[in-house]
Amino acid sequence: MKLDVNVLRYLSKDDFRVLTAVEMGMRNHEIVPSELVDRIASLKHGGTYKVLKNLLKHKLVHHDSSKYDGFRLTYLGYDFLAIKTMVNRGVFTAVGRQIGVGKESDIFEVAKEDGSILAIKLHRLGRTSFRAVKSKRDYLRHRRSFNWLYLSRLAALKEFSFMKALEEHGFPVPNAVDCNRHCVVMSLIHGYPLVQVRELQSPEVVFDRILGLIVHLAEHGLIHCDFNEFNIMIDDEEKVTMIDFPQMVSVSHRNAQMYFDRDVDCILKFFSKRFNLSLEEQIDNTDNSEEDSEGSSRPCFSSISKSVGFLDRELAASGFTRKEQDDMDKFVKEEKDQDQCSDDEEDSAGMDETIVRDVVSLHLLDQPGHTVEGNEEEIKENRQSCEGQLSEPCCEAHFNEDESEENVNDTELVKSLNKQRRRAIAAVHRGGKTIASRNSYKDKGGRSSHNSKIQKQLGSW
């Protein structure tokens, strides 16, 4: 759809208000109902349907009445909203000619108030030439349903963030000015695409400079994934500038080496065909050239040190996801938990030994004719701790026949300990329910009263 900015002169505030209402309704509607548009726009004097009719005439919205009467935005209407916002911000004041067409975007010249020229890139995902966005890009993440306008907005935001970060780190990229919806405003590169260049003064120097950019990107954790003669600008002084960044991925991507080698192969093939550089042997024998990367001009992905920067982590590039960061944090946390568990097991083992010893000493004191060596204060403390441990459900683990037989040789004492152990376990199993019935307070002589008696006996014992 051709962008005719002359229509902007004849659109009123009500027209843009209704366009914004349709955009807001498309957040959760594929086709926004007419009643919802009227409710969101809330025009003072009404006339929403008349405005929609005017917008439909200029092809800014699309009418659909297959299931119900509704409207949706077109790319032209989305363009007008973005351009109007940029003009209100003072980014530019005029839109000029179209200077580029791609499979997923259109590029126009725009002029500022002082007369300087900028470039505006309008993303248009969903064209017939490029519809496999869901399988080739990870814009959707975990989402199942999508809208082409929303995907174009995500692509513009991603390109703007990459361009801004690469400019800050000294890469030859356009200057990112502003971004709104699906459009990105950048500085205009005064040069030509490399595909249009037929002669170079020093093709070897330009070739080494371009390969150096690929390696430099990988050292910062990024791979361009579409680094070819169409996305490289060169001026009269043979200065190289990179463009087009929505498809960049991290070096941690599972196909990172394949993307890296593909970018290198594109440059090798172009320079060998266009400028007759002797690089055919390196293209055919990639394995041999990768083994001796120092002696050849072909870079090797495995030999690149990726410790210069972490732009893929800062920009959340595809391949280095939040899940990987969470897995790393989880792995560190599990190691700490294992160390704590080992310490807790040692402490619990020592506590079990003291509990068994305290229980034996308590029962020896209860038996006539037996005495235990030690201070009276320690014996009292052991008695209190033992009584607290007997009331817990885990008392079965603290009574061990083998340990008691090793410490006490009296067979009668062992029998009495076993009987008391069985009684305590049975009492705990009978009274272990935490949820009481609704009419438990009425049951005076039933099970609840019986359990309370047993608990009193255990407390006194």
C-alpha of 441 from chain center: 55
Q: How many CA atoms lie within 13 A of 119 on its CB side?
A: 19
What Rg value do the Cα atoms of the chain yield, rounded? 39
Provide the sign of the torsion angle of the four alpha carbons 17, 19, 25, 31, taken in this order.
positive
As to burial, measured by CB atoms within 10 angstroms (0-12 exposed, 13-18 middle, 19+ buried), residue 129 is: exposed
Q: Which residue has the tokens 């009418």?
A: 63
Residue 298 to residues 229, 267, 268, 311: CA-CA distances in angstroms?
17, 10, 8, 24
The single-letter DSSP state of residue 188 is P
242 vs 170: CA distance, rounded Å: 12
226 assigned to active site: yes
How many C-beta atoms lie closer than 10 Å to residue 386's C-beta? Answer: 21
218 vs 310: CA distance, rounded Å: 10
Within 67-225, strands assigned E span: 70-73, 94-101, 105-111, 117-123, 176-180, 183-187, 192-193, 222-223
64, 138, 226, 410: the catalytic one is 226
As to burial, measured by CB atoms within 10 angstroms (0-12 exposed, 13-18 middle, 19+ buried), residue 283 is: middle
C-alpha of 214 from chain center: 26
Closest among 286, 173, 180 to 240, alpha carbons compared: 173
Residue 284 to residues 160, 271, 293, 299, 340: CA-CA distances in angstroms?
37, 15, 15, 15, 56
Q: Which amino acid is at 31?
A: I
* Dihedral pair phi/psi, residue 123, rounded to 5°: -75, 135
Instruction: Give Cβ neighbours of residue 391 (< 8 Å, ≥ 6 apart).
Output: 455, 458, 459
Catalytic residues: 226
